[in-house]
Amino acid sequence: MSEISRQPSSYSYRLHKTSDEESLTPKAFVRLFLRTWPYLKPQWKHLLVWSSARFLIEIIWVFAALVAFDLFNNKVLVGEKLESSQVTLLFLDDSYRSYVPDQTNETVEQEQGEAPMLTRVQRAEVRDRLLILFGIAGVFIFMLSPAIDYYRTWILQRVNQFLRVTMVERAEHLSLRYHSNARTGDAIYRLYQDSAMITSVIERILLEPLVAIGQVFFSFFVLCLFSPVLGLMFIGGIIPMVWLIVWYTPRLQIRSRRARTTNSDLTSRIQEGFAAIRIIKANRADPILRQRFNQDSRTALDAAFYLRVESILMRMLLMLLVGLMMIATQYLTAGWTMAEDPTFLAGSVALVGFTIWNFGAFQAVQSRTSEFLLNGMDLVRIWTVLQDMSVGLDRSFFLLDLEPDVVDDEDAVPIPEPILKITYTDVTFGYDPDRPILKGINLAADVGTITAIVGTTGSGKSTLMSLLLRLYDPDSGSIAINGIDLTHLQIDSLRAGVAIALQQNTLFATSVADNIAYATADVDRAAIEAAARVACADEFIRTMAQGYDTELGERGGKLSTGQRQRLSIARAVVRDTPILILDEPTASLDAETEHRVLANLAEWGRQRIVFVITHRLSTIRNADQIAFLEDGEIVELGNHETLMAISDGRYRRFVSAEVEVTSASESVQ
C-alpha cells in the first residue's frame, strides 16, 4: 500500500507479545487512574468551578432551545397565541396571550374569529423579542465558553506541570546506576507525551462517560417500555460487542505501548545522534545514521499506524453491529406501525406517550435508538482512548516508582564541620555487582593533605571518587567523614561539601560565568573571577568577545579541551568546599599551564582534603600520599619516596616508564 509497508520493518500487523509488552491487569488499570488523583487534587477547586461552569452552559443551551422551539415554530411561524409564561418572558402585553381575561376578549375575536391567532405585526414582534432574548443568551454563552475553555487549558496545564516537575525531580535524583542504562530521549518522551495523558483524565473518566452512560440507560429504559422485544434484541447485540471490546482491550494496550516505546527510541536516536554529531561527521557516518534514523522513524510510524488500525477495526466491527441493530429496529417498528399494534406499556401514557404504534411513536423510537446506540459507541471511543492513556500514565508512573538507590537516611545529619578525616574501609563496589570494580579498598586522608590516585586505565580511580560523592553506594564496606558513615549524612549537604572537577569537562550552553558558578548559589562576579584566576582561565576568558558573559556553544563547544578543562577546575574552586576532587585535571593542558594551575591549586588547597587522579608525575610527586590502584585494589600506598623504595614495586615501574621518556629527551640535549 505504501512505501512504509514495503520497507522491511520490525513490526507487522501480526501481534506477537513479548515479555515487556504485557497488557495491564484490570486492577492495575484502575489503580493507574486512581494514582492520578494526587496530581489533580491541588487543582480540585478549579476543576470543580470549571466543571460546574461547563454544566451551567449546557443547561442554558437546553433551556434556551426548549423555550425557543415552541415560541419559534408554533408562535412565530404558525401564529398561535402565547402561553402566559411566554408572554411574561418576552415582556409582551395581554393581547398576545392565548387565554385572556373577559374584558379584552372582544378585541381579539374581532380580528381573528373563533381561533385566536397573532397578527402579522405581533408575530414579527414576538420574533424580534425572541431574537433579542436569544442574542443576550448567545452573547453570554459566546463570552463564557471560550473563557471556560481557556480556564480548562490553564488548569490542565498546571496538573501536567506538577506531574512533569515531579518526574524531573525523580529523574534528577535517580542514581547513575539507573541513568547509565536509560536513554535521555526516553526521559524526554516520558516527560512530554506520556505525562500529557494526565490532562485528559477528568474528562475521559468522569465527565464524558457520565453523560454517555446516563443517556444509554435512559434511552434503553424508554425503549423497553415501548417494546421488550427491542430491549431483548439490544441485549443480544450487546453481548458480542462486549466480547469484542474485551478481546481488543489488551491488543490496544500492547499496540499503544509499542507506539510509545518506538517513538521514545526515535527520540533517543535523534538526541544521541546530535550529541555525537561531530563523531558522525568525522567518520562520514551520516548516511548510516540517516538510514538508522529512517528505519527507526518508519518503525515508530508503523507502530502508530497499527495502533490506529486496531482502534479503527474495532470501531468498524462495532459499527457494523450497531448498524445491524438500527436497521432491525427500523424494520420491526415500521412493521408494527403499519399494523398499528399497541405499545408495551400502552396504559402508562405518561411514560411512553403513545398507546399504539403510529408515526409519532416510530419517530420517537428511531431517535431513542440512535441516541442509545451512538452514546454506546461514544463509550467505546472513550474506552479506546483510555487504553492509550493508561499506557502513557503507566510509563509516567514507572519513572516515579523507581526508588533512588541512594537516599537520605531518616535521621541523616549534615556534613560535620570542620572536616578532619576521610576513611574508606573495606570498600567493594561494582556497577554490575557480579563484576566488582573496587575490591576491599582501605584509604584514609587527613585535612591539609593531597592524595594522588594513580593507576592504569580502567583500574577504578574515578569510581573510587564517585563513591565519596555518593553517586553510588558501596556494595560492602563503608566510607566515613570524621568517623560518620556517609550513609548517615544528608546527600545534599555532602555534595555541597565536595567540589569536583570532572574528567569529562561537562559544560552547559550558557555563559562562561554561569558555567563557573553552576554548582554554587549566590556567588558574585569577583569570586567567579578569582576562581578563574586560580584555574588560569581568566586570561583566555578575557580575550573572548563578551568576556565572562560569552555564551558557550552546545556542550561547551567553541572552546578547546584545555580551556574547558580550566573552566571545569574553576567551577570546582569557586565552590570553596572543604573537600576537592580533581579527576585528571591537567591531562589536556600544556606543561607550562599545568605547572601554573597546579601551583595555584596547591596554595589554594592548604586547609582542605584534596584528591587528584592523575598520570602526571609532576603532580603525583607533590602529593602527601599516593594510592596506586590496580584492578580495583590499592596495591601500594605511601608517599613518593616510600613507594620508590620498594624494589620492583608497581609504582616504581610506573615512574620509570615515564622517566625513560624524559631521560631520552634529556639525552638529546
Partner 1 sequence: MSDITTNGTGSTPKFDDRLDTETRISNLEVAGILDRCLRLLGAVPKLFCSKLVLSALAIIPGLYYQWIPKIVIDNVILQKAVEETETPFPPHMAPLVNVITGLSPMETLAVITAVLLVLLFVVGRGGTYAYFSQGEDSATQSENQMNQGGSETSGIIGLADSFVQIRLSQQLTNHLRTTLFQRMARLPMTTLDDHRIGDAVYRVMYDAPMVPGMCYKVTLEPIFMIIGAMISLYLMHYSYGDVAPELVWVAAMMIPCALLVTVPFSALARRVQQDSRAAGAATTNAIEESLGNISAVQSLGGMGREKDRIDKHSNESFRRYRHIKIVNILLEFATLFLLVGMAFWVTIFATDLIIAGDMSPGDFGVLFGIATSLGGTAVGLGRFWIELQGNAAAVRRVFFFIDLPSEEHGASLPKVGPLSDSVKIEDVDFTYPDGRVALRNINLSLKPGELVAIVGPTGAGKTSLAYLVPAYLTPSRGRVLFDGKDTREINLDSLRDQVSYVFQEHLLMSESIRANLLLVNLQASDAEIHDALTTAGAMDFVNALPDGVDTILGRSGDTLSVGQKQRLCIARGLIRDTSVLILDEPTAALDPQTENALVNALRQAAKGKLVIVIAHRLSTIRQADRIVFLEDGEITDIGNHHDLMSDPDGRYRRFVELQAGNVG
d(CA 350, CA 538): 92
DSSP-assigned beta bridge partners for residue 446: 421
Binding-residue pattern over the window 67 to 86 for partner 1, x denoting contact by CB under 8 A: ------x--xxxx-------
Tell whether residue 618 is a contact of partner 1 (CB under 8 A): yes
- Residues 298-317 interacting with partner 1 (rule: CB under 8 A): 298, 301, 304-305, 307-309, 311-313, 315-316
> Which range of residues in 55-63, 186-194, 228-236, 444-452 is near partner 1 by CB under 8 A?
186-194
> Which range of residues in 27-35, 57-65, 292-300, 641-649 is near partner 1 by CB under 8 A?
292-300
Sign of CA dihedral 154, 155, 159, 165: positive
Tell whether residue 212 is a contact of partner 1 (CB under 8 A): no
- From 456, 478, 487, 600, residue interacting with partner 1 (rule: CB under 8 A): 456
Tell whether residue 249 is a contact of partner 1 (CB under 8 A): no
- Residues 497-516 interacting with partner 1 (rule: CB under 8 A): 500, 502-504, 506, 508-510, 514
Tell whether residue 270 is a contact of partner 1 (CB under 8 A): yes
- Residues 389-408 interacting with partner 1 (rule: CB under 8 A): 389, 392
Tell whether residue 142 is a contact of partner 1 (CB under 8 A): yes
Tell whether residue 276 is a contact of partner 1 (CB under 8 A): yes
d(CA 326, CA 323): 5
Tell whether residue 196 is a contact of partner 1 (CB under 8 A): yes
Mapped to the 3 state alphabet, what secondary structure does 333-398 carry? HHHHHHHCCECCCCCCHHHHCCCECCHHHHHHHHHHHHHHHHHHHHHHHHHHHHHHHHHHHHHHHH
Tell whether residue 13 is a contact of partner 1 (CB under 8 A): no
Q: If you search the block for the grid coordinates 600544556, which residue do you land on?
A: 590
Nearer to partner 1, 37 or 192 (CB): 192
In eight-state DSSP terms, residue 481 is E
Q: Which of 196, 193, 169, 200 is nearest to 264 (CA)?
A: 193
- Residues 474-493 interacting with partner 1 (rule: CB under 8 A): 492
Nearer to partner 1, 98 or 330 (CB): 330
Shortest CB 602 distance to partner 1, Å: 13
- From 49, 595, 638, 652, residue interacting with partner 1 (rule: CB under 8 A): 595
Q: Which of 301, 305, 293, 307 is nearest to 257 (CA)?
A: 307
Shortest CB 103 distance to partner 1, Å: 28
Strand 421-429 to 476-481 pairing: antiparallel
Q: If you search the block for the grid coordinates 441516541, which residue do you land on?
A: 371
Tell whether residue 657 is a contact of partner 1 (CB under 8 A): yes
Binding-residue pattern over the window 103 to 122 for partner 1, x denoting contact by CB under 8 A: -----------------x--
Nearer to partner 1, 144 or 446 (CB): 144
Shortest CB 211 distance to partner 1, Å: 17
- Order across the sheet with 633-638: list the strands: 498-501, 579-583, 609-613, 450-455, 625-630, 633-638
- From 116, 376, 474, 562, residue interacting with partner 1 (rule: CB under 8 A): 562
DSSP-assigned beta bridge partners for residue 630: 633
Contacts 24+ apart (CB under 8 A), 90-96: 90/126, 90/129, 90/130, 90/133, 91/129, 92/125, 92/126, 92/129, 95/122, 96/122, 96/126
> Which range of residues in 37-45, 46-54, 328-336, 526-534 is near partner 1 by CB under 8 A?
328-336
Tell whether residue 90 is a contact of partner 1 (CB under 8 A): no
- From 82, 90, 100, 280, residue interacting with partner 1 (rule: CB under 8 A): 280
Number of residues that bind partner 1 (CB under 8 A): 182
Tell whether residue 432 is a contact of partner 1 (CB under 8 A): yes
d(CA 400, CA 364): 52
Tell whether residue 192 is a contact of partner 1 (CB under 8 A): yes
Amino acid in position 338: M
Strand 633-638 to 625-630 pairing: antiparallel
Q: Which of 113, 95, 92, 111 is nearest to 103 (CA)?
A: 95
